[in-house]
Amino acid sequence: MNADRTALFPGTFDPFTNGHLDLTRRAARLFDRVVVAVAHNPVKGTFFPVEERVEMIRLATRTLRGIEVIEFSDLVVDCARRVGAGVMIRGLRAVSDFEFEFQMALMNRRLAPGVEVAFLMPSQQYTYLNSTLVKEVARLGGRIQGLVPHAVEERLRARMRAAAPARAKKPAARARPARAKSAKRR
């Protein structure tokens, strides 16, 4: 397949949200082949192991034509070259995303001048959504239905249930009584 018809959609996807799914669908309408590349990224301290994130994304995208899901642990431009992608897809939810994404796009252009970056905006209903927010809502027992694909929702709830007893066993921090400040005498 021609490199200019293959797009790479890289990310940590911890977890894969309905915003990510929306961008994957949009990219699939523009390109013959979209490779969703799941980053190992140990610096971020992910909630789900990479293999599980890959599996959840495969389940969420199984009905979409031309979608592949892989994992990678090297430079994203090296991953793009490996899969024959001429374009990297990046999502922009708000103006606040632009500065970081622009900086990354320029660095990637320096590293791989032949790989373009295409910025896609999600549907308006997903502009506030990010993986960190979803994990926090789930951790605190909030409703995550409609924020993530069904397969992700099930795994996230199961993971939170498993973590709940561990959180319950931790003793609550006791408040220390305030110490009165002693007046210094001269």
The catalytic residue among 26, 33, 131, 135 is 131
Active site residue 150: no
| Element counts in the chain: helices (H) and strands (E) | 6, 5
- Checking if the pLDDT of 172 tops 80, the result is no
- What is the rounded distance in angstroms from the CA atom of residue 184 to the CA atom of residue 6? 73
Active site residue 44: yes
Q: Report the pLDDT averaged over residues 67-89.
A: 97
**Burial per residue of 56-74, b for 16 or more beta-carbon CB atoms within 10 angstroms, e otherwise:** bbebbbeeeebbebeebee
The residue extents of the domains of the chain are 3-162
Q: Give the distance, in angstroms, between the CA of residue 40 and the centroid of all CA atoms in the same chain.
A: 11
pLDDT digits (tens, 9 = 90+) for 44-63: 789 999 999 999 999 999 99
- What is the rounded distance in angstroms from the CA atom of residue 166 to the CA atom of residue 111? 44
The one-character DSSP state at 64 is: S
Active site residue 96: no
The catalytic residue among 44, 62, 65, 150 is 44
- What is the rounded distance in angstroms from the CA atom of residue 147 to the CA atom of residue 92? 17
Q: Which CATH architecture has domain 3-162?
A: 3-Layer(aba) Sandwich (3.40)
Active site residue 26: no
**How many CA atoms lie within 13 Å of 92's alpha carbon, on the beta-carbon side?**
17
Global confidence as pTM: 0.84
Q: What percent of the chain has pLDDT over 90?
A: 74
Residue 154 confidence (pLDDT) = 93
Confidence bin at 186 (pLDDT 50/70/90): very low
- Checking if the pLDDT of 161 tops 50, the result is yes
